[in-house]
């Protein structure tokens, strides 16, 4: 859980939301004024224009001496996924990166949302005015029926409220928070009191490009990179611009990653699905895209891979089997490995970990040797790392041993290129 201060902030926002909703039924114009006044005075994050204008002076740098703590859709084990509150909680709990999935509205505004449909994580079913919007589309070769983000304008999407995906997780924040835009997500990171990276995914690029059209024939990928550039995201991995505004771009679609390599030098991660799932754009098998030949090819476009963790260490009847050599082979091709997804609940912990998420983190970090972890519980991973590999006082010092090693790596990389 978070600190008492953050818990009280979230409770206050919920209270203000309830009171102003009740007052909105009257003819008084006081309700919106009251809402703005209370939020500005008391909420965890102030209102501000985009791009962010908040200055935090000399912010603590991103740590680069231990595996990255990647907040999967925010701290979504506690708060509904992809919401501003989930991302703020993750930052408070120590995330190095906040991760999001990028889709589009009907009018071409990029939003933070995981599913192609709104059904599972919003209150769309309660909005009878949208009842006629249900459609059936082909999404990655599967006929899918529901309410799709691409059939709603941003104004309409903002009327919806997000809910917790998993019934066994805390439901108290359901209906409290709206869908946010990509730009709002970026501003949350830029407004953090320390440097926090972003980790956006280009989600369903084929589907989005089929259903949403931008002026001048631009693609989803063009719009995506354009927003990143607008906010100053640039630079290769560990370069000076990157360290100021850290970014990993991720996608399951290798064609998209190759395409945007011509648009930005920001580091990219190739996501790898289960062994039964082919790539969504090139229809390549898991075995082909994890072969040495393919890793040698893709390393010209990405700095790492993001595999489903059970493909790295197979599981049988909820027990771990012999680890594959994927991590070692990726490292031999100078590729990082950021597996997904780590979750605290017993139903997600294999028997080998004795219902202890810290044992799982220890296994993956110290035995398998991964370079970053997507987690639904940012605070748990942060606590484990602080206990087992606390950051040294000179972690932000440019002349510290770790930073000097990074500089040497950059020089070697430049020489290779």
**pLDDT below 50 — which residues of the chain?**
1-49, 402, 413-417
State the DSSP H helix or E strand holding residue 329, giving kind and residue range, or none if neither.
Answer: helix 326-332
415 Cβ partners below 8 Å, 6+ apart? none
Task: Return the pLDDT at 58.
Answer: 87
Task: Return the pLDDT at 392.
Answer: 75
pLDDT tens, residue by residue, 256-271? 999 999 999 999 999 9
Q: Which two tokens stand for residue 59?
A: 């912010």
Domains of the chain, earliest start first: 68-116+183-388 (3.20.20.190)
What's the half-sphere exposure (Cβ side, CA atoms, 13 Å) at 27?
Answer: 0
pLDDT tens, residue by residue, 6-59? 444 444 444 444 434 444 444 444 344 333 343 333 344 433 345 555 555 689
- 71, 52 contact by CB (below 8 A): no
Task: Return the pLDDT at 199.
Answer: 99
Identify the DSSP state of 194.
B
Task: Return the pLDDT at 383.
Answer: 98
Give percent of the chain above pLDDT 70: 80
Separation of alpha carbons 173 and 241, rounded Å: 36
- 341, 309 contact by CB (below 8 A): yes
| C-alpha to C-alpha distances, 142 to 129, 138, 139, 217, 323, nearest whole angstrom | 27, 5, 5, 27, 31
Return the SS3 of 162.
Answer: strand
Task: Return the pLDDT at 257.
Answer: 98
Task: Return the pLDDT at 379.
Answer: 98
- 246, 254 contact by CB (below 8 A): no
pTM of the model: 0.84
pLDDT tens, residue by residue, 102-128? 999 999 999 999 999 999 999 999 999
Longest dimension (CA), the chain: 69
């Amino acid at each position: 859980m978070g600190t008492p201060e953050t818990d009280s902030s979230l409770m206050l926002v919920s209270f203000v939301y309830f009171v102003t909703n009740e007052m909105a039924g009257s003819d008084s114009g006081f309700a919106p004024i009251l809402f703005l006044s209370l939020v500005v005075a008391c909420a965890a994050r102030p209102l501000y224009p985009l791009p962010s204008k908040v200055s935090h002076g000399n912010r603590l740098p991103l740590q680069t001496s231990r595996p990255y703590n990647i907040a999967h859709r925010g701290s979504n084990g506690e708060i509904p996924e992809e919401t501003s509150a989930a991302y703020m909680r993750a930052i408070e709990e120590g995330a190095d990166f906040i991760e999001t999935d990028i889709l589009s509205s009907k009018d071409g505004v990029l939003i933070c949302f995981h599913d192609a449909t709104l059904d599972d994580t919003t209150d769309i079913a309660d909005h009878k005015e949208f009842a006629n919007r249900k459609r059936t589309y082909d999404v990655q070769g599967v006929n899918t029926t529901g309410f799709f983000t691409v059939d709603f304008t941003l104004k309409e999407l903002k009327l919806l409220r997000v809910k917790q995906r998993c019934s066994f997780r805390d439901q108290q924040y359901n209906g409290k928070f709206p869908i946010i835009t990509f730009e709002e997500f970026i501003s949350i990171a830029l407004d953090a009191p320390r440097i926090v990276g972003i980790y956006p995914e280009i989600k369903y690029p084929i589907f989005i490009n089929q259903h949403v059209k931008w002026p001048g024939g631009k693609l989803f990928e063009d719009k995506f990179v354009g927003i990143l550039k607008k906010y100053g995201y640039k630079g290769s991995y560990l370069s000076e611009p990157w360290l100021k505004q850290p970014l990993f771009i991720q996608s399951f679609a290798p064609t998209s990653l190759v395409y945007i390599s011509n648009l930005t030098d920001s580091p990219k991660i190739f996501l790898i699905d289960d062994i039964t799932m082919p790539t969504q754009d090139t229809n390549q098998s898991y075995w082909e895209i994890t072969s040495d030949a393919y890793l040698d090819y893709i390393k010209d476009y990405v700095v790492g891979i993001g595999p489903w963790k059970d493909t790295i260490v197979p599981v049988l009847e909820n027990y771990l089997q012999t680890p594959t050599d994927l991590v070692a082979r990726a490292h031999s091709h100078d590729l990082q490995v950021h597996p997904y997804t780590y979750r605290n609940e017993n139903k997600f912990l294999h028997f080998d970990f004795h219902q202890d998420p810290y044992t799982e983190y220890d296994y993956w970090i110290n035995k398998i040797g991964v370079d970053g972890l997507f987690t639904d519980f940012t605070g748990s991973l942060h606590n484990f790392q602080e206990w087992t590999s606390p950051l040294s006082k000179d972690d932000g010092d440019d002349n510290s041993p770790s930073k000097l090693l990074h500089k040497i790596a950059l020089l070697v990389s430049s020489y290779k290129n």
